[in-house]
Chains A and B, each alone.
Chain A
Amino acid sequence: MTAFGASRYRASQRRLRLFQVFATAVFVGLLGSFWQIQVVDHERYREQARQNRIKTLPIAAARGNVLDRHGRSIADSEIALTAMIDAANTSAENLERIASGLDLDIERVWRTLQDASDYGRFEHIVLKEDLSQRDLAFLQARRHAFPEVDLVEGMRRRYPAQQVAVHATGYIGKASRQELAMREFLLLDFGSEVGKSGIERQYNRWLTGTDGRLQFLVDSVGRSIETVGEVDSVPGNNLRLTIDLDLQAVSELGLVGRKGAVVALDPRSGEILAMASGPSFDPNQFVAGFQDADWRALNSDPATPLLNRATQGTWAIGSVIKPVIGLAGLQAGVAGPDFTAHCAGGLNYGGHYFRCHKRDGHGTVALVEAIAQSCDVYFYQLGVKLGIDVLGRYARLAGFGERTNVDLPDEAPGLVPSVRWKVRSSLQPWRPGETVVVSIGQGAMAVTPIQAAHAIGGLAMGGVWHRPRIVSDDQMRLIDPDYEPPRPRVATIDREHLATLREAMWQVVNGYGTGRQARLSGVDVCGKTGTAQRVSNELRLRSGRADFEDDAWFVGFAPCSSPEIVVAALLENGAHSYYAAAVVRDLLQVWLLNRPPASLTDSSKTLAESFAGLP
């Protein structure tokens, strides 16, 4: 071998050795990586692989149905399809295409994903609920393009399309950040639905079920191959209300095109038979999800359709207060048979002339005539005699000025003004003229329609006020085995005084009174009209504005001798109380038609005989 050949041989030997070293190093490196992956990080990768292979989707639990007292459904749930997105596996481009196809606001979608990520949620984020046929067709035709979207069968809350018992039932919606932070909702997950108002909110826990889950084996692009696990959902409990759908429907038909409220109670138990508030709204909109503009329009509507006027709105009660003021006068010994007032159309008091609604006056009247004909002058004088403290005491005895504690959220307490209240609220002294206007249910006095029904119902029952409730005691015992029915508030009232008041309210409807529109054949109806001014008569007449018209009230009960139902009707800007009286009459007609014949009161029974049955 020449020197040159030997040199080449050594060079090739070196290269071979280098290659061997390199190859050995590569294999050692590979072995090390395999060791790292298969031994050291085994558990981590195994878990990741398992998660990649198993997809979990929720099975929505049906919310319990809301039923009327006869078991008829007011709110139920139906199967609806929901589009859920796996945010971790989507792209901005896909998200925009999906949002566009599903007619979603992309900004809202981004906000939802952001909110979800704040709660550590990246998968199963609800993109759109209650998918339409268009949405379903859009997604189904693009399953290949959008593997990150899943179609999940959920339960959609369904409220009556005819907007029945909307304010009493309330509605559900996605839990807000504030709600998720509340103790009551701590266990809820992002995107959970909760009751937002009415019964849905008050009895949210009872109505809410427990979601199940479904686990799928999926392929590399997320398509389901087979089901590997399933945990059934547990539906929520049904809730039977005291509402009677017949009465509820007619109450609402009485408010068509009007603002106002109708509340019907059973004064013997406090059970709410009907509760309507107008104008109304479609709670299904909350389930489907509002567009921002729609929500703003509804929320800022000057007619305040979201307000439950029956429990959350307060108004001057007008002359409906007169039986209560009369009771105060009788109990205080002031409004006896010998106490009369001469009404010449008004009263001068404290340098101010207070008009009666009857310009030419009622003449000389005693309590029964004063209530029957709603003579303001009589009550001006009685109020002045009693003073604001006594008026306030009896108004509060009847339940005004404080919440009735009906089992509905956000009830307004109303207001019974007092000297102390005046000083505290305005740093002004109580002026005697204010007592005059309070004595006819005007001025600062503010009541809710449910308070009006509760107050007159309690009087009709002889001074026994049952707490109004929309869920019966029987149902409450199912919800809470330790439930104790609330005791009624009982006042010691002279039976003769009650008889006088009842006679006066009988005369309002059946005699020479202001509520003849409420008269009904087949049953004696008692009641009291009320007209509450919003502005001075001069301004109302001068402006001609509809929203300056007086509010019209009527509160009636039947049968007079043994009341089974009391109905309060308020028509905002209703102008005259007889409109409200006619609404109550039609409601009582339906009540009468549905009442068991055996319990019909003999309307031919004399008043004296009826009063003999007083408690």
Chain B
Amino acid sequence: MQELLARRRNGILLGVLVFLQVLMVGQQIQDRPIDARLRYWSSALFMPLQRAGQWGLSGLSGVWSGYVWLVGAAAENRQLDAEVSRLRLENHYLQQQVVHVSARAGLDEFRASLASRTLPAKVIARGPSRNAREVFLDRGREHGIEPGMAVVVPAGIVGKVEAAYGASCMVVLLSDAEAGAGVVLGRSGAPGVLRGTNGVLSRLDYVPPHVGVAVGEQVYTSGLDGVFPPGMPVGEVVSVETTTEMHTIAVSFHADLDRVREVAVVLRTEHEALPDSVRRILARLPGPPETDVEGELRAGGSLDGPADRVKRTYESALQAQQKTIGLLSGRPPNFSAAADSLRAARGEISGAPGEAE
């Protein structure tokens, strides 16, 4: 019997439940009030089940209806995203067009103001490596481009054409460590050579150590390199370290070499008297020095040494007295002051002539 019960337990339990249900239905059909106790117990027994069932059914219903709604919203979202992207692209394109038109207009204005003959060009590619210091332009040999030509923008010089192909050319930017340009300092007119560093700043070398250099000083092309037209803006001195033998000068470029798009290639170089368009860009800055750089170089090649100073001192004494060595008439030249000043310079006597205690 126990074996039978154990084997048919589920069937028996189901039968009992059906039987009870039939009883209860029968009771309701008889329209007799259910015993309160039975109602209480049946409520206590079935209400949690009913509540759980209700909750499950309503949950399922909510999930289902939410799912259906979500399917529609996602589709709508995708559509809106696409629209936003399209509008963004359009906006970007229009902005680019504005920049392009404005840059082109600026470049055209700039080109028109240059004495040098130039050709407009666009940057169509950059060097393959991440730190590439070269760009490719959409102009080449068939447009008259040759290696060695300067590439400039209104803000300043950019680089030099290193190789020219049929319809394109490669330009090495000034920031390349192997690139350089002959320059002059705006304040003193002292010449120097600008060299790239593969970084955002460049080095200004070979400025004579006796020349004063200040942070903020402007740097212009000297034209001595035979590549860049003289008088073009280059950059600004951002740091100076000076020893008795040399300056260590860092210069920032005015032209944004990493983002340059519209450029002018200088086909024939002329001396540039800083154009108005450039002056507007560099509103607060002085123009390039008006000095003859070559002349200055010739005249100031070497500084006087001690021997020069000694000879000049005696020569000046003669000139001041309007006399010469070996004069026959009148009093011979008087070298007392000259000799005293030179002895003072050697530290043999204290103080210069004429100095009183």
**Is the beta-carbon distance between A254 and B307 smaller than 8 angstroms?**
no
Q: Which of A70, A143, A164, A586 contacts B178 (CB 8 A)?
A: A143
Chain A residues, CB < 8 A from B313: 249
Also in contact, A138 and B225, with CB within 8 A (given A133-B191, A594-B339): yes
Also in contact, A586 and B308, with CB within 8 A (given A249-B314, A253-B315): no
How many residues in A have their beta carbons less than 8 Å from beta carbons of B?
Answer: 52
Chain B residues, CB < 8 A from A254: 325-326
Chain B interface residue number, banded: 35 or more
Contact with B along A50-87 (1 / 0, CB 8 A): 00000000000000000010101110101101000000
Min distance, Cβ B175 to any Cβ of chain A, angstroms: 13
Chain B residues, CB < 8 A from A589: 332-333, 335
Q: Is B249 an interface residue (CB 8 A)?
A: no
**Is the beta-carbon distance between B245 and A79 smaller than 8 angstroms?**
yes
Instruction: Enumerate A269-294 residues with CB–CB distance to B below 8 Å.
Output: 284
| In the complex, residue of chain A having the shortest beta-carbon distance to the beta carbon of B294 | A134
Q: Is B310 an interface residue (CB 8 A)?
A: yes
Instruction: Enumerate A140-156 residues with CB–CB distance to B below 8 Å.
Output: 140-145
**Is the beta-carbon distance between A143 and B306 smaller than 8 angstroms?**
no
Chain A residues, CB < 8 A from B148: 142, 145
Q: Which of B147, B172, B224, B307 contacts A68 (CB 8 A)?
A: B307
Instruction: Enumerate B193-250 residues with CB–CB distance to A below 8 Å.
Output: 193-195, 205-206, 222, 224-228, 245
Chain B residues, CB < 8 A from A160: 304-305, 307-308, 311
Q: Is A162 an interface residue (CB 8 A)?
A: yes
Q: Is A250 an interface residue (CB 8 A)?
A: yes
Chain A residues, CB < 8 A from B304: 160-162
Chain A residues, CB < 8 A from B307: 68, 72-74, 160, 162, 164-165, 245, 248-249
Chain A residues, CB < 8 A from B86: none
| In the complex, residue of chain A having the shortest beta-carbon distance to the beta carbon of B183 | A137
Q: Is B258 an interface residue (CB 8 A)?
A: no
Min distance, Cβ A133 to any Cβ of chain B, angstroms: 4
Q: Is A585 an interface residue (CB 8 A)?
A: yes
Q: Which of A136, A223, A253 contacts B314 (CB 8 A)?
A: A253
Chain B residues, CB < 8 A from A138: 182, 224-226
Q: Which of B227, B311, B328, B339 contacts A593 (CB 8 A)?
A: B339
Min distance, Cβ A597 to any Cβ of chain B, angstroms: 11
Chain B residues, CB < 8 A from A143: 178-180
Identify which of B312, B314, B343, B346 gathers the most chain A CB atoms within 10 Å of its CB. Answer: B314
Q: Is A380 an interface residue (CB 8 A)?
A: no
A176-184, A431-439, A487-495, A576-584: which lies at the interface: A576-584
Chain B residues, CB < 8 A from A133: 182, 191-193, 206, 222, 224, 293, 297
Also in contact, A137 and B182, with CB within 8 A (given A246-B342, A583-B326): yes
Cα separation A74 to B183 with both chains bound (whole Å)? 33
**Is the beta-carbon distance between A256 and B328 smaller than 8 angstroms?**
no
Q: Which of A68, A132, A248, A582 contacts B326 (CB 8 A)?
A: A582
Q: Is B77 an interface residue (CB 8 A)?
A: no
**Is the beta-carbon distance between A590 and B293 smaller than 8 angstroms?**
no
Instruction: Enumerate B279-338 residues with CB–CB distance to A below 8 Å.
Output: 293-294, 297, 302, 304-308, 310-315, 318, 324-328, 332-333, 335-336
Chain B residues, CB < 8 A from A253: 311, 314-315, 318, 324-325
Cα separation A112 to B28 with both chains bound (whole Å)? 130
Min distance, Cβ A357 to any Cβ of chain B, angstroms: 18
Chain A residues, CB < 8 A from B318: 253
Q: Is B111 an interface residue (CB 8 A)?
A: no
| In the complex, residue of chain A having the shortest beta-carbon distance to the beta carbon of B206 | A136
**Is the beta-carbon distance between B206 and A245 smaller than 8 angstroms?**
no
Min distance, Cβ B190 to any Cβ of chain A, angstroms: 9
Q: Is A252 an interface residue (CB 8 A)?
A: yes
Min distance, Cβ A196 to any Cβ of chain B, angstroms: 19
Q: Is A101 an interface residue (CB 8 A)?
A: yes
Q: List 15 A-B contacts (CB under 8 A).
A: A78-B302, A133-B182, A134-B224, A138-B224, A140-B194, A141-B181, A141-B228, A144-B172, A144-B179, A162-B307, A162-B312, A250-B335, A252-B311, A517-B328, A587-B325
**Apart from A136-B205, A249-B307, A586-B335, 4 more pairs, CB < 8 Å:** A134-B294, A161-B302, A580-B326, A594-B339
